[in-house]
Amino acid sequence: MSLLGRAMLPQAFFLPTGSGQRFCLFHPAPGDFVRGCVLYLHPFAEELNCTRRVAAQQARALAQAGYGVLQIDLLGCGDSAGRFADATWEAWLQDARLARHWLREHASGPLWLWGMRAGALLATALAKDLSEPCHLLLWQPVVSGQQQLQQFLRLHTASQWLGADRASGQAPSQMLNNGQPADIAGYTLSPALARGLAAARLEPPPCPPGQLVWLELSVQAEPALSPASEKQLAVWRDAGWAVSAQALTGPLFWQTVGTDNAPALVQATLDALAKTPAQAAPP
């Protein structure tokens, strides 16, 4: 029987936390074909909505290939409890810890932390907490939270240029620096979340080095990794990680809400993870 024929239906549930419930979707691997488990950590703010379609396609493909995949909506995001205005970086990291604990209780094999954009920062932060080895799958990773924050703040400027927000007063960056929340592109960003995000860095965790799969998309016909990415990857290689990095041609689907597909990205992910041999999960 084909892997597709053995695929199991995803299981939706709410994960209890100390600050409300988090919506989760678990894609179980076929019971007789388990290669590992994957925790997906989504990108920041509206990028979550933009990337849902491709992330779901990848989660299903990974499950069919033998991986148990857990997707979680973090505090104040998607269908989870709380408001985005209440979110902090530490609260999101705690959500990731709880999700990883649940996944380890319900799936076996090597652990992969899969982060998209700012989710890559959260994945590496989580890896620093772990006592077990893990692998990292990073899609279009943001190398610093400060970079992500600045991009988000620029949305306010763009909305003013387009006439969507003609309100006068302090700029969002000034409000945040003064300890006030700022409304940007339909999201209320708290000073606490801004500080936590700005302090995040994409750095090799101290846990035993594993596999790092780094995948980027470009609209160019002959894409190549950026010099900034190559510099970052050198740091990971020096830290002992087995790095597999690739630039692919495909839509920049995290930038617009639509019906984009990224089949090259999905297949490259499957190919990269297939190169890592399955092993027993830690007791």
**Every domain of the chain and the residues it spans:** 3-143+200-274, 145-199
CA atoms of 279 and 31, how far apart (whole Å): 15
Q: Is 7 helix (H, G, I), strand (E, B) or coil?
A: coil
User: What pLDDT does residue 163 have?
Assistant: 53
Nearest to 117 by CA among 46, 209, 195: 46
* Per-residue pLDDT, 207: 80
What is residue 279's predicted lDDT score, i.e. its pLDDT?
47
Helix (H, G, I), strand (E, B) or coil at 281: coil
Cα first-last separation, the chain: 31
Q: For residue 119, how many other CB atoms are within 10 A of its CB? A: 28
CATH classification (class only), 3-143+200-274: alpha beta
Evaluate whether 88 touches 193 at the Cβ level (below 8 Å).
Answer: yes
**For position 249, what pLDDT does the model report?**
97
pLDDT score for 206: 87
User: Tokens in use for 43?
Assistant: 């990108």
| 15 SS3 class | strand
Say if residues 264 and 58 touch (Cβ distance below 8 Å). no
Rounded to an integer, what distance in angstroms lies between the CA atom of residue 144 and that of residue 199?
8
Q: Which of 193, 208, 56, 222 is nearest to 130 (CA)?
A: 208
Q: What was the pLDDT predicted at 282?
A: 39
- Number of continuous H segments (helices) and E segments (strands) in the chain: 9, 10
Beta strands 20-27 and 67-72 are antiparallel
What pLDDT is recorded for position 8? 77
Structural tokens at position 83: 């408001």
Residues of the chain falling short of pLDDT 50: 1-5, 161-162, 164, 279-283
CA distance 175 to 190: 10
Q: What is the pLDDT of residue 3?
A: 41
